[in-house]
Structure 1
Amino acid sequence: MPKATLTTKKAVDDLPHPEKGQVPYWDDSGLTGFGVVVGTREKTYVIERRIHGKSRRITLGRVGTITLQKARKDAEQLVGEIAGGTDPVQRRRDQTAGGMTLRQAWELHQQAMKRKGNSQATFDDYQSKIDCHLSDWLDRPLVSITRAAARERHTKIGENSGTYMANGTMRVLRAIWRRARREHPELPEPPTVNVDFYAEKNRTTVITDWPAWWAGIQQIENPVRRDFYIWLAFTGCRAGETMRMEWDNVDLDARVVRYPITKTEALELPLSDFLVELLRKRNACPQTIELFGADCKWVFPSLLAKSGHLEEEKLIRSEPKLFKQRWSPHVLRHSWITAADQKVKISDAHQRALTNHKPKRTKNNDAHAGYIHPDLNDLRNSQQTMTDYLLAQINASRPAKSGKMNNVVAFERRNAAK
């Protein structure tokens, strides 16, 4: 390796740049391990020593950014630390990791999520949990968030916001921490190791009495929310994605709705006859036009939400009393998927495409299902079959005639009168 007397600025400036790669020049004036690494454009001061049996090269700074005198002084200080048994490299890592806040770790994790192609809905879900339950920790160093603190916070969230929210928030914290730990291996394992997660049972509730459910829906006075629940029941779509539906993404002539932002990926949803008619009447609803204007961009608008669209998906006030069976918007999704699988016998590929679930992989992680791309017209046929089944269930006392039922006709007349 080339050597040079690195005691003057001129000596450093005179070191030639190679045509490619890097060339280290080591000082021969007595400061062992001190050198300048010369690249094609830049020069960098370094100190290289063996620490605990391993060769370590520590960057001191770029030539021109720090002076030669400062670089030599810093090198001498590091040599002293090494002689005293300290590993300066590890110390720097510890200082960096120890100072990383939860906010910085979250920013790092967001970059990873973007590279993996996570949807905006997933980002929003993470951000919501952080804002609601971890905001007071954002500017705290990660190392200050103890195992006991994580356990106590999990319990508090469970008591105030429910067990599913508590578990979900701790999973968010764990994911962020694990990404930070890949950057800084010296970080301890996530404090969530001390969290006793609440048991989460599979949600087996589905609508069992469709005529009763339909009768209850007809008594909801707000036509926007009434149509919102009917849409969920007849599509199996996620509530959050549906609340953000815009008319610009509705093409009634092509009989499709395009969801640009979903939990998984963009969705082009084919529509049955009933769904097309539902949207036509929703768009022409006089009450909605009077309140929101004819140019309102939201399919399901709201006067109460800052966003301008529905944000509260659950039944409100006394509405639950209208129904014999307790249910939620997600129960409607479960009901649609269960009926599609158990009653209508729609293929798994079509079920997943229509409800925007990722293709199913086998136990040996066979990616075969990922190569199945159902045709839009075939999907529309499956959608129509599901609609016909649900309409038949709603009017179970009478057989279907031309795809419409007495109760459904009453609903359409009621909407048209608004």
Structure 2
Amino acid sequence: MSKQESRVRLTAGRVEAFTCPTDKPQAFLWDTEAPTLAVRATPTGRKTYVFESRLHGSTIRMTIGTLKDWPIERARLKAQGLKMLVDTGTDPREVEREKQAAAVEKKATAAAKVEAAKVAALTVGEVWGTYIAERRPFWGDLHYRDHIDKAKAGGLPSGRRGGGKQLTKPGPLAALMPLALKDLDQATIEAWAANEGKTRATSARLAWRLLTVFLTWCAEQPTYAALLPAKNPAKTKKAREALGKAGTKTDVLQREQLAAWFAAVQKIQNPVIAACLQMMLLTGARPGEVLALRWEDLNTQWKGIQIRDKVEGTREIPVTPYMLHLLAALPRRNEWVFSSPTSANGCLTEPNTPHTRACKAAGLGRLTLHGLRRSFASLTEWLEVPAGVVAQIQGHKPSATAEKHYKVRPLELLRVHHERIEAWILEQAGIVFDAQAEPGKLRAVS
């Protein structure tokens, strides 16, 4: 049937009764009132309104919509409007594509504005959490903990023995966490530094350094870069001066104080804490490195200890005879060498309080746990041990080209010097110890 023969005035009944023969892919029923309008049917029963006309000698056809969405009169008006475009030489398909593109662009612009508003509303704390999560694989445990502690809100039960109902204090960066990142400008940081520098300058200096690196990271992220000024707002002379300079720490055990210190530490009722403190002094390791030791790090066959190093990742140091003696007496409660049945993770936390009490009982001045590390390095001066040996045991970076590239000291060579250092320290402390005696066997407890 031709187009002329299949043309009728479209009505609801005629449209409803119109079907496509099963032997054809599609069939058309053309309207007499709007000659460019037709109902297209397929063998599946699907029916749509279509527009068809000729432009520049070619036939163009467009789908208007389904019968459900388009009443007949509305479809006629649409077809007539499309015909007017064709009569002016305009391709309605191009017009439709432009409309769709404009709609997509409008939608994208609106979505971008919404997203920009969300980003602009981000607080320092929210971005700080993202920053920590992304950088965590590249940090050591201590550095990660610093980021958590310096930004914590505080206000929780302290959990310390004898602390009663005391609540934890907010970290130095806690005041900045609720601020919008876009509001973290130079003046805000300088005011924060001036306030924190009055009460806890040492802690605030570390917090300021962490904040400075955080803002540098933000400036490198396309999502946050537009929220910050071109220059890092934390890097100002005023902020640095408000926090002051770190003083040189001089807390260290002198040779003549060794006897009093060992006597007081060995009287600590908790043998794990007593052994831990002695090991800090005898290895010169960082307190966190000693506390993080696991039994799997101890190699009794080759008498070495793998230490998780913040500089090189890991380093191996000798296990000297007296250290073996201390370790052999410790209980194996879990994977930690210096375990604690009362801590959340089963590992001993920094024993600052017991150490302070021991030093006070011994009549010594203030001596920090890191002061034990300084003490080890200082005491080796009496024996004129090569500086490179001491640095390798302590985990310091080599300070000379020869140390970096030419001197490789095996564990046995380090042992020669380390055992000599230990023997001399024990001698000065008045501790009688048989270095040839077999250490006691490690005992397991429930």
Do the aligned partners of 2:304 and 2:319 also contact (CA within 8 Å) in 1? yes
AA aligned to 1:119 is: G
Q: 1:338 aligns with which of 378, 400, 405?
A: 378
1:124 aligned residue: 145
Larger Rg: 2
Partner of 2:353, secondary structure, is: coil
TM superposition shift of 1:226: 1.0
TM superposition shift of 1:336: 0.5
TM superposition shift of 1:141: 2.3
Do the aligned partners of 1:239 and 1:329 also contact (CA within 8 Å) in 2? yes
Q: 1:279 aligns with which of 314, 319, 327?
A: 327
Q: Does 1:352 align with 2:391?
A: yes
Give the alignment's Cα RMSD to 1 decimal: 4.0
Please give the alpha-carbon distance, in whole angstroms, between the structure 2 residues aligned to 1:151 and 1:240: 32
1:49 aligned residue: none
Deviation per CA, 1:78-133, whole angstroms, max 9, x where unpaired? 9xxxxxxxxxx9x999979745542325534764574xx44333222222222233
AA aligned to 1:201 is: G
TM-score by length of 1: 0.64
TM-score by length of 2: 0.60
Paired residues for 1:203-352 under 5 Å = 203-208=249-254, 209-260=257-308, 262=310, 264-283=312-331, 294-316=332-354, 318-326=357-365, 327-340=367-380, 342-352=381-391
Please give the alpha-carbon distance, in whole angstroms, between the structure 1 residues aligned to 2:370 and 2:209: 21
Deviation per CA, 1:162-199, whole angstroms, max 9, x where unpaired? 32111111111111012212335552232452421222
TM superposition shift of 1:348: 3.0
- Return closer, same or farther for 1:96/1:222 CA change in 2, 3 Å cut-off: same
1:182 aligned residue: 220
Q: Does 1:380 align with 2:380?
A: no
1:200 aligned residue: 246
Partner of 1:268, secondary structure, is: strand
- Return closer, same or farther for 1:217/1:318 CA change in 2, 3 Å cut-off: closer
Please give the alpha-carbon distance, in whole angstroms, between the structure 2 residues aligned to 1:330 and 1:144: 38
2:23 aligned residue: none
1:107 aligned residue: 130
TM superposition shift of 1:248: 2.4
Q: Unmatched 5+ residue regions in structure 2?
A: 1-60, 64-89, 91-97, 153-170
TM superposition shift of 1:330: 0.7
Do the aligned partners of 2:309 and 2:395 also contact (CA within 8 Å) in 1? no
- Return closer, same or farther for 1:71/1:153 CA change in 2, 3 Å cut-off: same
How many equivalent pairs are there?
Answer: 316
AA aligned to 1:220 is: I
Do the aligned partners of 2:292 and 2:336 also contact (CA within 8 Å) in 1? yes
Partner of 1:241, secondary structure, is: helix
TM superposition shift of 1:232: 0.6
TM superposition shift of 1:147: 3.8
AA aligned to 1:164 is: T
Deviation per CA, 1:203-243, whole angstroms, max 9, x where unpaired? 12210111121222122222111111111110111111212
Do the aligned partners of 2:385 and 2:417 also contact (CA within 8 Å) in 1? yes
Please give the alpha-carbon distance, in whole angstroms, between the structure 2 residues aligned to 1:266 and 1:374: 15
Q: Which moved more, 1:132-141 or 1:93-102?
A: 93-102
2:101 aligned residue: 68
TM superposition shift of 1:244: 2.2
Please give the alpha-carbon distance, in whole angstroms, between the structure 1 residues aligned to 2:402 and 2:415: 25
TM superposition shift of 1:329: 0.9
Q: Which moved more, 1:209-218 or 1:183-192?
A: 183-192
Paired residues for 1:5-154 under 5 Å = 67-71=100-104, 98-99=120-121, 101-102=123-124, 103-105=126-128, 107-108=130-131, 111=134, 114=137, 117-131=138-152, 132-135=171-174, 137-138=176-177, 140-154=179-193
- Percent identity between matched residues is 18
Do the aligned partners of 1:258 and 1:268 also contact (CA within 8 Å) in 2? yes
2:427 aligned residue: 392
TM superposition shift of 1:254: 2.1
Do the aligned partners of 2:311 and 2:397 also contact (CA within 8 Å) in 1? no
AA aligned to 2:253 is: I
Do the aligned partners of 2:289 and 2:308 also contact (CA within 8 Å) in 1? no
- Return closer, same or farther for 1:110/1:381 CA change in 2, 3 Å cut-off: farther
Q: Unmatched 5+ residue regions in structure 1?
A: 1-7, 11-28, 30-44, 46-65, 79-88, 284-293
Do the aligned partners of 1:150 and 1:192 also contact (CA within 8 Å) in 2? no
Please give the alpha-carbon distance, in whole angstroms, between the structure 1 residues aligned to 2:62 and 2:425: 84
TM superposition shift of 1:249: 1.9
- Return closer, same or farther for 1:92/1:181 CA change in 2, 3 Å cut-off: farther
Partner of 1:393, secondary structure, is: helix
- Return closer, same or farther for 1:280/1:180 CA change in 2, 3 Å cut-off: same
Do the aligned partners of 2:322 and 2:433 also contact (CA within 8 Å) in 1? no
TM superposition shift of 1:139: 5.1
TM superposition shift of 1:344: 2.4
TM superposition shift of 1:154: 3.6
- Return closer, same or farther for 1:150/1:265 CA change in 2, 3 Å cut-off: same
